[in-house]
């Protein structure tokens, strides 16, 4: 693992690191914020999964999460959204290929050799981080924005033993039923739609739910609402009687202005679960 940068931040350290990923078959970069408490021993961690076109850097520099994580004594991890490199498959569209991994393990050509973001985010990177930094692997929460909100919800509901809490900002809630999902799942997972259901938050909510607290925020002025389909998740949660805070925030759009506005709420939400 190579240290690309480390900066003093709210009493802690914001670092950026690069390592060779076996899961993705390329070098991967991630951001990690460690609060001051990490000097004395392992601290809880909140994973932040970013959205389409993003790298590790977007949320790290725009979301304002470090201030609130420092107040709560929580580490933050900002993974990349896809594999990178000259030999990694890509597409001219912004919503497929590099920057658009959708947090799945691709099975189809030309994506399968590198696009294994599920394994990377749920296994390889957590193992690397907990081995090299003062992170408590028994106290983990996960959140994300847009495509990353999709990833956070699907990962938490599939692996509830790993995460005590899950939240999402404007998540893609029903990818099997919308254009942000059908195209990507067909490319990455093939034409058998039965394989797509494992990566649909609304279908997983109806089937499994989550044995813990859930928080979802979406803006009423989000210009991607028809692609996000938040009503499908709300309906599934209500039918299941899942404990959930589902909030439609009046006037907010899809941007990081929205994310940063409600970041304090989300970090505090996870802190309550991680320290309980």
Q: Which CATH number is 99's domain given?
A: 3.40.50.1820
Would you state the pLDDT for residue 217?
98
Q: Work out the end-to-end distance of the chain between its first and last CA atoms, rounded to an integer number of angstroms.
A: 33
Average pLDDT, the chain: 98
3-state secondary structure (DSSP) of residue 266: helix
pLDDT tier at 80, thresholds 50, 70, 90: very high
Mean pLDDT computed over 179-202: 96
Residues in the chain: 276
Would you state the pLDDT for residue 232?
98
pLDDT tier at 34, thresholds 50, 70, 90: very high
Distance, CA of 91 to CA of 100 (rounded, Å): 10
Would you state the pLDDT for residue 169?
98
Domain count, the chain: 1
Q: What residues contact residue 20 under an 8 Å CB cut-off, 6+ apart?
A: 26, 27, 28
3-state secondary structure (DSSP) of residue 89: coil
pLDDT tier at 205, thresholds 50, 70, 90: very high
pLDDT tier at 118, thresholds 50, 70, 90: very high
User: How far, CA to CA in Å, does 141 sit from each of 14, 151, 153, 162, 212?
Assistant: 19, 13, 11, 8, 10
Annotation says 146 is catalytic: yes
Distance, CA of 50 to CA of 141 (rounded, Å): 15
Annotation says 254 is catalytic: yes
In the chain, what percentage of residues exceed pLDDT 90? 100
Mean pLDDT computed over 125-146: 98
Kindly report the CA angle at 113 between 107 and 115, in degrees rounded to 5? 70
Element (H, E) at 7: strand 2-9
User: How far, CA to CA in Å, does 253 sit from each of 152, 181, 220, 226, 258?
Assistant: 20, 20, 7, 13, 6
Write down the catalytic residue from 56, 199, 254, 270.
Answer: 254
Annotation says 202 is catalytic: no
Containing domain of residue 41, as a range?
2-275
Q: Per-residue pLDDT for 137 more than 90?
A: yes
pLDDT tier at 140, thresholds 50, 70, 90: very high
Q: Per-residue pLDDT for 276 more than 90?
A: no
Residue entry with tokens 């994300």: 144
Write down the catalytic residue from 21, 50, 82, 146.
Answer: 146
Within its chain, how far is the Cα of 72 from the centroid?
20
Nearest CA to 154 out of 201, 192, 112, 118 is that of: 201
Would you state the pLDDT for residue 194?
94
Write down the catalytic residue from 114, 222, 266, 270.
Answer: 222
Token pair recorded at residue 182: 């059908």
**Is the distance from CB of 85 to CB of 18 less than 8 angstroms?**
no
């Amino acid at each position: 693992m190579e240290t690309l940068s480390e900066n003093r931040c709210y009493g802690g350290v914001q670092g950026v690191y690069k390592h060779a990923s076996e899961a993705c078959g390329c070098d991967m970069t991630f951001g990690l914020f460690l609060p001051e408490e990490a000097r004395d021993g392992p601290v809880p961690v909140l994973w932040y999964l970013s959205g389409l076109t993003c790298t590790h850097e977007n949320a790290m520099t725009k979301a304002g999460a470090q201030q609130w994580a420092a107040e709560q004594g929580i580490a933050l991890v900002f993974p990349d959204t896809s594999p990178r490199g000259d030999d990694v498959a890509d597409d001219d569209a912004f919503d497929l290929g590099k920057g658009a991994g959708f947090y799945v393990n691709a099975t189809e050509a030309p994506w399968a050799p590198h696009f294994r973001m599920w394994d990377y985010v749920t296994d390889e990177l957590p193992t690397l981080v907990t081995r090299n930094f003062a992170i408590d692997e028994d106290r983990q929460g996960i959140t994300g924005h847009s495509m990353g909100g999709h990833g956070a919800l699907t990962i938490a509901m599939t692996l509830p033993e790993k995460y005590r809490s899950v939240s999402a900002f404007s998540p893609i809630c029903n990818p099997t039923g919308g254009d942000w999902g059908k195209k990507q799942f067909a490319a990455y997972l093939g034409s058998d739609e039965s394989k797509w259901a494992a990566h649909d938050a609304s279908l997983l909510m109806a089937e499994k739910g989550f044995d813990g607290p859930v928080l979802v925020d979406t803006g009423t002025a989000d210009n991607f609402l028809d692609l996000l389909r938040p009503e499908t998740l709300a309906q599934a949660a209500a039918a299941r009687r899942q404990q959930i805070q589902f909030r439609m925030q009046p006037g907010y759009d899809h941007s990081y202005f929205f994310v940063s506005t409600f970041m304090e709420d989300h970090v505090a939400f996870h802190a309550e679960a991680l320290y309980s």
